[in-house]
């Protein structure tokens, strides 16, 4: 299938289920930025349960600013904080050390635009998982599309996709937490992640 999907920050597992099944992947580059979505946030599984990691962005001049024009707020050292949170959550997972150095550049590079960051996170994770489908980019925004539209998967907690449970680091403490950032799957399942994604049904 040919899909249309939003670039988000270390996207949810549901994002990657769609991507693993796709014959072509077009990234939505021309939407208006929406707050309270995964465009600038991800959810991980910490020792205290589900944890939100949010990227601070510069305040919008209006409510119709393009996502591609959104700049990161550089007054906060969010990259250091986010990596420390990932390390605390996943250091004991089976595959964290294997992928740690591969994802580290995201937390060391000086980004100006949120879109550039999101594109890098998607590219890095896709390579780690083994998704070889190249990303296309939309040329303009269309509310309706002939592609299979998965843009709703950027909605964060509003994305109600149910996925098959797998072993999570703190699962014995809090049980399985559904549809976190794909990093949760990658650190826990490693090279088996792609087979897992392809086995899921929407």
pLDDT in tens, 35-46: 889 999 999 999
Q: What's the pLDDT score for residue 159? A: 86
- Helix/strand/coil for 170: coil
Q: How many Å apart are CA 120 and CA 116, to the nearest integer?
A: 6
What is the average pLDDT score of the chain?
94
Please state the rounded mean pLDDT for residues 86-93: 98
E runs forming strands in the chain: 2-5, 24-27, 41-46, 49-54, 135-137, 148-149
Q: Phi and psi (nearest 5°) for 184?
A: -60, -45
Question: Which pair of tokens denotes residue 9?
Answer: 């920050």
Which alpha helices (DSSP H) does 71-113 contain, by range? 78-90, 96-103
Task: Say whether pLDDT at 107 is over 80.
Answer: yes
Q: Name the pLDDT band for 62 (thresholds 50, 70, 90).
A: low
Q: How far apart are alpha carbons 125 and 16 in whole angstroms? A: 9
Q: Does the pLDDT of residue 59 top 80, yes or no?
A: no
pLDDT of residue 158: 78
pLDDT at position 52 over 90: yes
Q: pLDDT at position 166, please?
A: 98
Only one residue has tokens 């964060």, namely 156
Print burial letters for 99-115: b (CB count within 10 Å at least 16), e (below 16). Answer: beeebeebeeeebeebb
| pTM, two decimal places | 0.95
In terms of Cα–Cα distance, which of 191, 135, 145 is closest to 15? 135
């Amino acid at each position: 299938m040919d899909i249309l999907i939003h670039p988000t920050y270390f996207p949810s597992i549901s994002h990657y289920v769609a991507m693993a099944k796709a014959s072509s992947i077009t990234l939505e580059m021309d939407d208006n930025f929406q707050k309270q979505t995964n465009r600038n946030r991800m959810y991980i599984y910490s020792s205290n349960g589900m944890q939100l990691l949010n990227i601070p962005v510069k305040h919008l001049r209006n409510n119709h600013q393009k996502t591609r024009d959104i700049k990161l707020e550089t007054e906060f050292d969010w990259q250091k904080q986010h990596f420390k949170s990932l390390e605390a959550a996943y250091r004991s997972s089976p595959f964290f050390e294997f992928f740690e150095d591969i994802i580290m550049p995201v937390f060391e590079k000086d980004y100006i635009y949120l879109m550039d960051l999101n594109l890098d996170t998607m590219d890095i994770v896709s390579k780690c998982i083994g998704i070889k489908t190249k990303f296309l980019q939309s040329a303009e925004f269309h509310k309706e599309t002939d592609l299979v539209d998965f843009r709703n998967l950027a909605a964060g907690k509003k994305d109600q996709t149910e996925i098959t449970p797998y072993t999570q680091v703190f699962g014995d403490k809090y049980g399985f937490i559904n549809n976190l950032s794909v990093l949760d799957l990658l650190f826990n399942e490693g090279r088996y992640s792609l087979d897992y994604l392809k086995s899921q049904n929407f």
